Chain A
């Protein structure tokens, strides 16, 4: 009898610990549900680069995205300003498991160049965002762990830890704050290769589209090492404009501006 109860105790312990370990993933999956069903989206955005002294320079870009069921999404980012990069565009096919496929279009040479998506830890357009922060964060590309519950700016949040599986990632771990009400990402702490808390990313001004799809309109990235920050502001967002694969081909990349 005693042995049996010991056995049950052991079983419940292992079960709860494995449940405990999967709870992070569970929350991540629920949060990822928010990225489903939007079909396609088109947005215009401004990116402000703010120096340590508070000087601001702005960049503008347009972004189109297509949901691809069973695989990662397709996207095109087109730079509008500064003028010397106007018309430069990046086409990405994200994948759940393998590395993303990426092409860069250089309008001065009219050249489409395949680029190594592995070089993703570098800064995006001179900002505090890296290419990695801009790409789709497929659930499959991380390992998860539940950390705690915490109130963040008046919202009850889960805090989960995720560890990038890609050795080319610039991060060793990320702490993600996800609110309990809608499972929306509120904040991410990014830890660099030396496990130093390098950057804090916050997501604000969520608005609901299509009756269910939540889109943040302000994303800020603060770099704690150099004191600089970058703010991404969405000035125009629309969904389900009927974009298809043909809007995300190499030919469409060439005419994307």
Chain B
């Protein structure tokens, strides 16, 4: 907490010296996770954390933008879940059909909802949540060109961010700890290497397509037995080449989606893909409620099973933006089921509240397959999160 407080005061001071014209906003989030069982490794049942994300946004001139966003998180149980991260700190210079972004930023690639295979620019903060959608800021220079034949984005990624993992006292962790203090890199430049990426994206009426290539240090490490610490795994970050394909086709209200990758450099070259659809029923039963459906199937050469996910989203379309999301992860081969339900709504214009519950099925007998959820069998939880937004 002390170190976070120090950073916090530093950020607050920096705001006073910035131009008054800038838009200064932010959010504070309080979050409590209650696990129904004691941790398989004796961890506690109640975990709370507080996050603070200040943000500055400014149009410097007509053709220049400045954006800053930081994220600070303090967890009361797991020190590996504490975070001080600059998510955004960049300038964009806007030209005619061209823009240049330099600084720290986040970039999203992809079309599917339940897994993000193509998305490789930023490192994942796995301690924030389970879905892999929380990212760490990445220093970069990005040049975007808009042409009649599509958009081209060229990236130079300066330096590397390590993946975060839950610590000793954290929940939803592997039975073996991950030694994040001594990662191994294939590149002799270690975390100072400059990586490169290129992405072309275009659309033809109802069809959206993107092709990308990434050459650099893999954001996803392989976990190797540690030679330094007993009973620990060490993240091994190898140099990879990954080609990605994204496609989306709209047929009426139905969106068909595909993401596929081919990666070399981490043992055998492999392919992985996610394909599925999204459909929204507008105004179910003559009400103003929308019901969205998602079905996505996964394939990964490295896994022996091909799990799929069914999801629904109930949008109440009220003035509170009330929503209920649900998802079911089904792995036929290992006979496993995981379930998530999340309800959220606005309370006044300043605040949001969300309730989330996650359930990992552990009732099935041993059928010889390697169970993906085995490490989390005691980690069913309920989470309540309250977010307060400040600034206009």
Residues of A within 8 A of B (CB): 49, 51, 57-58, 81-86, 98-99, 101, 109-114, 116, 118-119, 121-123, 126, 168, 170, 246, 249-251, 255, 257
**A to B CB contacts below 8 Å, 29 in the list:** A51-B319, A57-B319, A58-B349, A83-B349, A84-B321, A84-B387, A84-B389, A109-B108, A109-B133, A110-B106, A111-B110, A112-B108, A114-B203, A114-B248, A114-B250, A114-B255, A116-B254, A116-B255, A122-B282, A122-B290, A122-B317, A123-B288, A126-B318, A170-B283, A246-B97, A251-B99, A251-B144, A255-B65, A257-B57
Residues of A within 8 A of B317 (CB): 122-123, 126
Closest A residue by C-beta to B105: A110
Q: Mark B180-224, 1 if CB is under 8 A from A, else 0.
A: 000000000000000000000101011010000000000000000
B window 247-271: CB within 8 A of A? 248, 250, 252-255
Pair A57/B349 contact, Cβ less than 8 Å = yes
- Looking at the assembled complex, report how far the CB atom of B288 sits from the nearest CB atom of chain A, in whole angstroms: 5
Q: Mark B130-157, 1 if CB is under 8 A from A, else 0.
A: 0001000000000010100001000000
Report the separation of the CA atoms of residues A246 and B108 in the bound assembly, to the nearest whole angstrom.
21
Residues of B within 8 A of A99 (CB): 206
Pair B25/A83 contact, Cβ less than 8 Å = yes
Residues of A within 8 A of B250 (CB): 114, 116, 118
Interface residue from A81, A122, A246 paired with B349 (Cβ < 8 Å):
A81
- Looking at the assembled complex, report how far the CB atom of A31 sits from the nearest CB atom of chain B, in whole angstroms: 28
Pair A119/B280 contact, Cβ less than 8 Å = yes
Report the separation of the CA atoms of residues A123 and B25 in the bound assembly, to the nearest whole angstrom.
28
Q: How many A-B residue pairs have CB under 8 A?
A: 92
Residues of A within 8 A of B92 (CB): 255
B window 344-363: CB within 8 A of A? 346, 349-350, 352
Q: Given A57-B349, A111-B108, A116-B255 in contact, is the A121-B99 Cβ separation under 8 Å? A: no
Residues of A within 8 A of B27 (CB): 83
Pair B96/A251 contact, Cβ less than 8 Å = no
- Looking at the assembled complex, report how far the CB atom of B331 sits from the nearest CB atom of chain A, in whole angstroms: 26
Q: Given A110-B106, A126-B319 in contact, is the A84-B352 Cβ separation under 8 Å? A: yes
- Looking at the assembled complex, report how far the CB atom of A66 sits from the nearest CB atom of chain B, in whole angstroms: 15
Residues of B within 8 A of A (CB): 25, 27, 57, 65, 92, 94, 96-97, 99, 106-108, 110-111, 133, 144, 146, 151, 201, 203, 205-206, 208, 248, 250, 252-255, 280, 282-283, 288, 290, 317-321, 346, 349-350, 352, 387, 389, 391-392
Residues of A within 8 A of B321 (CB): 84-85, 126
Task: Pick the 6 closest A-B CB pairs, nearest first.
Answer: A83-B389, A123-B317, A82-B349, A111-B108, A118-B253, A122-B282
A83, A98, A249 pick with most chain B CB within 10 angstroms: A83
- Looking at the assembled complex, report how far the CB atom of B219 sits from the nearest CB atom of chain A, in whole angstroms: 16
Report the separation of the CA atoms of residues A111 and B205 in the bound assembly, to the nearest whole angstrom.
20
- Looking at the assembled complex, report how far the CB atom of A122 sits from the nearest CB atom of chain B, in whole angstroms: 5
Interface residue from A57, A81, A111, A118 paired with B252 (Cβ < 8 Å):
A118
Report the separation of the CA atoms of residues A160 and B250 in the bound assembly, to the nearest whole angstrom.
34
Interface residue from A49, A86, A112, A170 paired with B25 (Cβ < 8 Å):
A86
Besides A82-B346, A118-B250, 6 more A-B contacts (Cβ < 8 Å) are A83-B25, A101-B205, A121-B282, A121-B283, A251-B99, A251-B151
Report the separation of the CA atoms of residues A111 and B201 in the bound assembly, to the nearest whole angstrom.
14
Closest A residue by C-beta to B392: A81
Report the separation of the CA atoms of residues A121 and B319 in the bound assembly, to the nearest whole angstrom.
17
Closest A residue by C-beta to B121: A110
Report the separation of the CA atoms of residues A188 and B243 in the bound assembly, to the nearest whole angstrom.
52
Closest B residue by C-beta to A111: B108
Residues of A within 8 A of B208 (CB): 114
Pair A250/B151 contact, Cβ less than 8 Å = yes
Residues of B within 8 A of A114 (CB): 111, 203, 208, 248, 250, 255
Residues of A within 8 A of B106 (CB): 110
Pair B283/A116 contact, Cβ less than 8 Å = no
- Looking at the assembled complex, report how far the CB atom of A188 sits from the nearest CB atom of chain B, in whole angstroms: 19
Interface residue from B110, B205, B391 paired with A98 (Cβ < 8 Å):
B205
Pair A84/B252 contact, Cβ less than 8 Å = no
Pair B253/A168 contact, Cβ less than 8 Å = yes
Residues of B within 8 A of A86 (CB): 25, 389
Report the separation of the CA atoms of residues A249 and B108 in the bound assembly, to the nearest whole angstrom.
17
Residues of B within 8 A of A255 (CB): 65, 92, 94, 99
Residues of B within 8 A of A246 (CB): 94, 96-97, 146
